Amino acid sequence: MIGRSIAFRIADSLIRKMAAFDAPVLIEGETGTGKELAARAIHYCGARAGKPFVPVNCGALPDALIENELFGHRRGAFTDAREDKPGLVELARGGTLFLDEIDTLTPKGQVTLLRFLQDHQFRPLGGRREEQADVRIITAANRSLERQVAAEAFRQDLFYRLNLLHLTLPPLRERQGDIALLAEHFVLAAAKRYGKAPLPFHPETLAWFERYRWPGNIRELENTVSRAFLLADGKDIQLHAPPLQVAPAAAPALPLNFRQAKSRAIADFESRFLGNLMEHAKGNVSAAARLSGTERRHLGRLLKKHGTSKP
């Protein structure tokens, strides 16, 4: 795990603390923030490091097969069961079972998992006796499980079982200073993998890397950097900034009348437009006026009004 930002150091400190205790962990964060990497760090920094780490995507567990996938079966349990097959719980014995995208688990799957977590006992399909599981459970979710519980889409009792220790991973846009470190790491990794000499980044490319919001987080950064590096022809890696992202406007806390709503909408539009315009003009007001077909003095007043003078 790579980073030096305050947000990263806080998460890293929590990971090290959680690794010391053999308790369930719930990891939440946006897609691409590195939840499985954090789960592996908790496992490999803890007492179970020498045992298996078994990841499973809960969205890929169909209701009809969930007990078979988790607990396995014994020979003769059903028509095609010609031999014993261990489930994921047995494969992770002594180690960690990582349940990714736990928020996609079906109601039946939630009941099955809750029953197992109550005493860590399970019975393989066709088995005659209960078996004790020696496994640590770490789960991850892209959406807030607490909100899922409030919406009655996730069992509250299961949520409390999983949420003994809680870790929220910060999105990449909140990790100031980490983007350049990660980008350089991905270049070196791609250079080693594909046998190409590493290249530095053009300063302007690194500059918009820091400004961009990275909705896909680290996964998007890795994909972007690897592609640009492999296709680069010059002495450095140059990428153009994508179109300015516009975040959806938050709903007003109090109802607005028509005139207030119109004024706010116009102000929001002007602010976003000017930011995008100055981005393309690289901070040059005269160039921005030419691009927008606006008289320079009028554009200057708008920029001063919205505090927009630089990209």
Pick the CATH number of 6-170 from 2.60.40.10, 3.40.50.300, 3.30.465.10, 3.40.50.2300: 3.40.50.300
Q: How does 67-80 read in b/e, with b if 16+ C-beta sit within 10 Å? A: bbbbbbbeeebeee
What burial class does residue 150 get, using C-beta atoms within 10 Å of its C-beta: 0-12 exposed, 13-18 middle, 19+ buried? exposed
Q: Is 214 exposed, middle or buried (0-12, 13-18, 19+ CB in 10 A)?
A: buried
Residues forming a β-bridge with 27: 140, 167
Q: How far apart are CA 39 and CA 27, in angstroms?
A: 8
Beta carbons of 101 and 140 less than 8 angstroms apart? yes
Return all residues near 41 (Cβ < 8 A) that are at least 6 apart: 1, 15, 19
* Whole-number Cα distances in Å, 69 to 51, 57, 197, 258: 20, 11, 44, 57
Which residues make beta-bridge pairs with 28? Answer: 141, 168
- So what's the pLDDT on residue 246? 46
State the DSSP code for 237. Answer: B
> Could you count the other beta carbons within 10 Å of the beta carbon of residue 185?
14
244 contacts 272 by C-beta, under 8 angstroms: yes
State pTM to two decimals: 0.74
Which pLDDT belongs to residue 287? 77
Query: Where are the chain's structural domains?
Result: 6-170, 177-231, 258-306
CATH number listed for the domain at residues 177-231? 1.10.8.60
Q: What per-residue confidence (pLDDT) applies to 114?
A: 94
pLDDT in tens, the chain (311 residues): 999 999 999 999 999 999 999 999 999 999 999 999 999 999 999 999 999 999 999 988 888 788 888 988 777 656 676 777 888 999 999 999 999 999 999 999 999 999 999 989 988 877 778 889 999 999 999 999 999 999 999 999 999 999 999 999 999 999 999 999 999 999 999 999 999 999 999 999 999 999 999 999 999 999 999 999 999 998 999 998 887 554 444 444 555 566 666 677 777 777 777 777 777 777 788 877 777 777 888 777 777 777 765 54
Distance CA 104, CA 94 (A): 26
What is the reported pLDDT for 261?
67
The residue count for the chain? 311
Report CA 268 to chain centroid distance, whole Å. 29
Pairing mode, strands 121-122 and 131-132: antiparallel
pLDDT at 310: 52
Q: Which residues pair with 140 in a beta bridge?
A: 27
pLDDT at 21: 93
The pLDDT value recorded for residue 15 is 97
- Classified as helix, coil or strand, 144 is coil
What letter does residue 240 receive in the DSSP assignment? P
Cα 305 to the chain's mean position, in Å? Answer: 37
Residue type, 199: L
pLDDT number for residue 291: 74
**pLDDT for position 76:** 62
For residue 256, the model assigns a pLDDT of 53
